[in-house]
A and B are shown apart, each in its own frame.
Chain A
Amino acid sequence: MKFVDEYRDAALISRIAAEIARLSEGQHLKFMEVCGGHTHTIYKHGIEDILPRNIDLVHGPGCPVCVLPMGRVDDAIAIARTDGVIFTTFGDMMRVPGSQGSLLDAKADGADVRFVYSPLDALKLARQYPDREVVFFAIGFETTAPSTAVTLLRAQAEGSKNFSVFCNHVTIIPAIKAILDSPDLRLDGFVGPGHVSMVIGMRPYTFIARDHRKPVVISGFEPLDIVQSVSMLVKQISEGRAEVENQYARVVRPEGNVRALQAMARTMELRPFFEWRGMGFITQSALKLRPDFAAWDAELRFEVPGIRVADPKACQCGEVLKGVIKPWECKVFGTACTPETPIGTCMVSSEGACAAYYNYGRFSMAAERANLPLINA
Chain B
Amino acid sequence: MDSKIVNSNGNASKVLEKIERVRQARRHKFYLRDEHITLSHGSGGKATHNLIEGVFGPAFSNPLLDPLDDAAIFVAEGGTQRLAFTTDSYVVSPLFFPGGDIGKLAVHGTINDLAMAGAQPLYLSAGFILEEGFPIADLRRIVDSMATAARKAGISIVTGDTKVVQRGKADGLFINTAGVGIVRTTATLGQNQLQPGDKILLNGPIGDHGTAIMLAREALEIESDIQSDTAALHTLVGSLLDAVGSRVHCLKDPTRGGVATSLNEMVIASEVAIVLDEPAIPVRPQVRGICEILGLDPLTIANEGKLLAVVAPEAADTALGTLRMHPLGRAAAIFGTVQAEPAAMVFLNTDIGGKRVLDMLVGDPLPRIC
Residues of A within 8 A of B (CB): 1-2, 4, 8-10, 13-14, 28, 40, 43-50, 53-54, 56, 91-92, 94-95, 104-105, 107-109, 115-117, 121, 223-224, 326, 328-329, 333-335, 339-341, 350, 359-370, 372, 374-376
Contact = CB atoms under 8 A, between A and B. Distances in A.
B7 A28 contact: yes
Contacts of A370: 273, 341-342
24 contacts: A1-B285, A1-B288, A1-B289, A10-B353, A40-B295, A43-B356, A46-B348, A46-B352, A48-B4, A92-B365, A108-B37, A116-B219, A117-B219, A328-B19, A333-B15, A340-B46, A340-B50, A359-B357, A360-B356, A361-B1, A361-B357, A365-B16, A366-B273, A375-B349
Contacts of A360: 356-357
Interface in B289-345: 289, 292, 294-295, 297, 339, 341-342, 345
B366 A10 contact: no
Contacts of B40: 104
B79 to A, nearest CB: 43
A13 B11 CA distance: 31
Interface string B13-50: 10110111011000000010100111110000011001
Given A104-B39, A326-B12, A95 B365 contact: yes
A341 B352 CA distance: 31
B354 A45 contact: yes
Contacts of B352: 8-10, 13, 45-47, 50, 223-224
A374 B2 contact: no
Contacts of A121: 219
Contacts of B366: 91, 115
A56 B19 contact: no
Contacts of B83: none
A329 B13 CA distance: 10
A329 B9 contact: yes
Given A91-B365, A329-B15, A369 B351 contact: no
B281 to A, nearest CB: 13
Given A95-B365, A121-B219, A376 B8 contact: no
Interface residues of B, number: 59
Contacts of A44: 297, 350, 356
B94 interface: no
Contact of B36 (A105, A326, A334): A105
B47 A340 contact: yes
B36 A109 contact: yes
A1 B5 CA distance: 34
Contacts of A28: 7-8
A298 B289 CA distance: 35
Contact of B15 (A56, A328, A369): A328
B343 to A, nearest CB: 9
Nearest to A369: B342
Contacts of B47: 340
Contacts of B39: 104, 107-108
Interface of B: 1-5, 7-9, 11-13, 15-16, 18-20, 22-23, 31, 33, 36-40, 46-47, 50, 219-220, 273, 275, 285, 288-289, 292, 294-295, 297, 339, 341-342, 345, 347-357, 359, 362-363, 365-366
Given A10-B353, A50-B354, A340-B47, A363 B347 contact: yes
A366 B356 CA distance: 11
A95 B2 contact: no
A53 B3 CA distance: 8
A333 B11 contact: no
B243 to A, nearest CB: 29
Contacts of A48: 1, 4, 354
A49 B40 CA distance: 32
A102 to B, nearest CB: 9
Contacts of B16: 328, 334, 362, 365
A107 B41 CA distance: 13
A340 B49 CA distance: 12
A370 B47 CA distance: 29
| Residue among B13, B219, B288, B353 facing the most chain A CB atoms (10 A cut-off) | B353
B196 to A, nearest CB: 12
B351 A45 contact: yes
Contacts of A8: 351-352
Contacts of B31: 341
A334 B356 contact: no
A362 to B, nearest CB: 5
Contacts of A376: 349, 353, 355
Contact of B19 (A46, A50, A335): A335
Nearest to A222: B352
Contacts of B5: 326, 328
A340 B292 contact: no
A2 B292 CA distance: 12
Nearest to A328: B15
B33 A341 contact: yes
Contacts of B38: 104-105, 107-108
